[in-house]
Structure 1
Amino acid sequence: MYTMTIAFTTFFFAFLAIKFCKPVAVEMGLVDKPNERKQHSGHIPLIGGISIFIAVLAASLLWLPDTLELRMYLIASAMMVFIGALDDRFDLRVRIRIVGQIIVASLMIYGVGGYVSNLGNLFNQGDVTLGSMGILFTYIGIIVVINAYNMMDGIDGLIGSLSINTFTAIAILFIMSGQTTYLSYPLIIATAIMPYLMFNLGLFDKVFGEDTKKIFMGDAGSMFVGLSVIWLLTMGTQGEQASFRPVTALWICAIPLMDMLAVVFRRYKKGKSPFKPGRDHLHHILQRTGLSSKQTLVLISTIAVVFSGIGLLGEYFEIAESIMLISFITLFMLYNLIIKAITK
């Protein structure tokens, strides 16, 4: 009953935030305009991420205990959303975005001591510990995950579906471990994303009419989602109350990670900036094969669920971390070969 109350409250706040923010976004020019890379019609309000954060903030302050972790998370998230909103409105330079992400990462690392110091028993020789290098590793990991989810926001419903899949998998991992300290976090975030996803896909149109035309998440939302993912993964895999193994984290966010790493590698080989926008992501490639946007969405979302399922099963049956790691690397190599074949 308590969980249902939190979910209902979060959904309600997210829905209200969308209805309130849409006219404000249009008035302020916080809209996405079509161009050579963005093939949509009309000016679409970029308020999905802002509405999600408002709902998470309201539900967290209302229902969750006041802890240092919660305060630092909300402050870091607010900064991330603000930087993302500025990028949505003014198209910030990559360097400015990265500096902002580093500042936000510092709140997590030094504010609550949340950094990756243990990678688990990856080679059957005992746990791989990073010591002080864990701080640098965490900075890199935060930037990678934030931008991995940011890069997946390319077709309607994709970033929302992948995010809900990831947060649901994290919640299941917390339940499986019996460690429920952070369980409410992924449940609240996943629920806050649902109204955005419904508006983005036009599921409310028949009920509420034309006033509910689609909205986009924007960089404010995709970077907030990425930050939340890496924050929860770090809290869930590190420390004395670790709930699941670090290698499992690779599987529950496999699609964003694989896509980003593959894109960065391809662009590096061509001498291009890895952060420059382009139409060489997985969803773009699949669409060029003849799949529609909806077919692409269903296919990628299904694969993401399967990958998360593999991670959950590996955790449940305690499959050796070395096997899970080798399997992931093998899958990534296969992924690159398939994408290369499709592209040709």
Structure 2
Amino acid sequence: MTSSILIIFLFINLLLFLGNKKIASILDLYDKPDNNRKTHKFNVPLTGGIIIILNIILISIYLLINTNNLLNLNVFLNKQDFLFFLICSVSVFLLGFFDDKFKISSTKKFLIMMLLFLILIILSNNLLIKEIRLSFIQNSYFLNNYISIIWTLLCFLLFVNALNMFDGINYQVTIYSIMICIYFILNDYYNIFFIILKISLLFFLVLNHYNKAFLGDSGSYLLAFIFSYFFIKFYNQTNIINADEIVLFMIIPGLDLMRLFIYRIYKGNYPFTPDRNHLHHIVLLNNNLIVTNIKIFSLTAIPVIINLYVGFTYLLLITQVIFYTYFILKK
């Protein structure tokens, strides 16, 4: 990545940062207080997704201008493969955008997502999960074509909805996303994309700190799709990471999703009914915002770092489950 491209994107993100309020005003896109679940007292722009998608579109245009730049990344097998990713990214963003603005029903969103991801999985190269590799088992488990499609689709749907539900307090999803960007950068995987994404997240983080912007569904859906997509690509294209090591990154939002679904059904509610029983809400009862973020972030970051140097992934996963349960029962 050349220094000139880095400077250009720093300037672009500075303009988006300064124009954040204007963008929200033009689009009339705000998260409005409800004196119930939401604790903010003023309208907050839902512009996080817009900042991220504009960066993705611009870096994509740069790569498409010179196809050799794109193919030399060894991420996409051809231009068509890249375009499928870009079209799905924009589609996921738009789904979240219209939900932020007009409130689409959870069932419709789920069905639209399922259709989008299914089409992407079928059309894209090297996106099917055809084998399960675990770090603590020598043999791999191979999946037939139909099971592979279902399993890959399930992975997308679970994580996109889990991360969306994980986005409930300032900093949390943004810092989590920056950590994943750093992981891919350290592994020299699609560096130009993840460096630009990290830059956009850092600018957004400042806005989020001052309650000047939230990710919204457009931002959380988009980030979750991106990480799901590239973890699968990275897993299929290299032997650097195993399935259980990916779970280390994703298990905390995933556990919270499963617990909330079970709890809501038990209470006779719809599984997607919003409430204040998320992990971050529970930890926030006895801690301030910064401490809450540190505790929850540590549940993912510390096991991931230990795994990079020591291994023993299965023990770390068990530890994550134990500490997650401890935080839930402590309320």
Instruction: Say if 2:317 is the partner of 1:309.
Output: no
Write the deviation string for residues 133-156 of structure 1: whole angstroms up to 9, x where unpaired. 011011111011111111121111
Q: Deviations over 1:74-105 (max 9, x none)?
A: 11110011010000011110011112212331
Equivalence map 1:277-296=2 (5 Å): 277-289=274-286, 291-296=287-292
Pair 1:65 & 2:59 matched: no
1:34 and 2:33 correspond: yes
Aligned to 2:226: 228
Find 1:95's aligned residue among 100, 107, 110: 107
- In structure 2, what is the Cα distance between the partners aligned to 1:214 and 1:338? 33
Distance 1:190 1:258 in 2: 26
- What pairs up with 1:33-52 in 2 under 5 angstroms? 33-35=32-34, 36-52=36-52
Aligned to 1:208: none
Deviation for aligned residue 1:65: 1.7
Inter-CA distance 3–274: structure 2 relative to 1 (3 Å threshold): farther
Q: Give 1:302 shift.
A: 3.3
Please list the CA deviations of residues 251-301 of structure 1 after superposition, one character each: whole Å capped at 9, or x if unmatched: 123332232233223333333322211111111001112x11122123222
Gaps of 5+ in 2: 64-68, 72-78
Q: What's 1:275 paired with?
A: 272
Match of 2:55 in 1: 55
Q: Which residue of 2 aligns with 1:210?
A: none
The answer on whether the counterparts of 1:17 and 1:51 sit within 8 Å (CA) in structure 2 is yes
In structure 2, do the counterparts of structure 1 residues 256 and 3 end up closer, same or farther at CA, with 3 Å as the change threshold? Answer: farther
Distance 2:9 2:163 in 1: 22
SS of the equivalent of 1:280 reads: coil
Residue 161 of structure 2 aligns to which amino acid in structure 1?
N
The one-letter code of the counterpart of 1:267 is: R
CA drift of 1:107 comes to: 4.1
Kindly report the root-mean-square deviation, in angstroms, between the aligned alpha carbons of the 2 structures: 2.3
CA–CA separation in structure 2 for the residues paired with 1:187 and 1:92: 32
Distance 1:4 1:41, change over 3 A: farther
Report the counterpart of residue 188 of structure 1 in structure 2.
196
Distance 2:46 2:328 in 1: 33
Q: Distance in 2 between matches of 1:153 and 1:58?
A: 26
1:248 paired to 2:245: yes
Q: Specify the code of the residue in structure 2 equivalent to 1:286.
A: V
Any conservation in 2 of the 1:117–1:134 contact (CA below 8 Å)? yes
Query: Which residue pairs with 2:178 in the alignment?
Result: 164
The one-letter code sitting in structure 2 at the alignment partner of 1:270 is K
Q: Counterpart amino acid of 2:267?
A: K
C-alpha spacing 1:269/1:171, structure 2 compared with 1 (3 Å): farther
Query: What letter matches 1:339 in structure 2?
Result: F
Shift of 1:222: 0.3
Contact conserved, 1:11 with 1:194, CA < 8 A, in 2? no
Give the deviation of 1:303 after TM superposition.
Answer: 3.3
Q: Is contact 1:166-1:308 (8 Å) kept? A: no
The match for 2:161 among 147, 151, 172 is: 147
Match among 96, 119, 128 for residue 115 of structure 1? 128
What is the SS of the residue equivalent to 2:137?
Answer: coil
Local SS of the residue matching 2:151 = helix
Residue pair 1:120, 1:127 contacting (<8 A) in 2 also: yes
Cα separation, 2, equivalents of 1:11 and 1:335: 38
Quote the Cα distance in structure 2 between the aligned partners of 1:191 and 1:18: 11
Partner of 1:325: 314
Q: How does 1:251-266 map to 2 (within 5 A)?
A: 251-266=248-263
Q: CA separation of 1:47/1:340 partners in 2, compared to 1, >3 Å: closer, same or farther?
A: closer
> What is the match of residue 198 of structure 1?
206
Counterpart for residue 339 of structure 1:
327
Following the alignment from structure 1 to structure 2, what is the Cα–Cα distance between the partners of residues 135 and 270?
Answer: 33
- TM-score, normalised to structure 2, is 0.87
User: Structure 1 pair 9/261, CA: closer, same or farther in 2 (3 Å)?
Assistant: farther
Distance 1:183 1:265, change over 3 A: farther
Aligned residue pairs: how many? 316
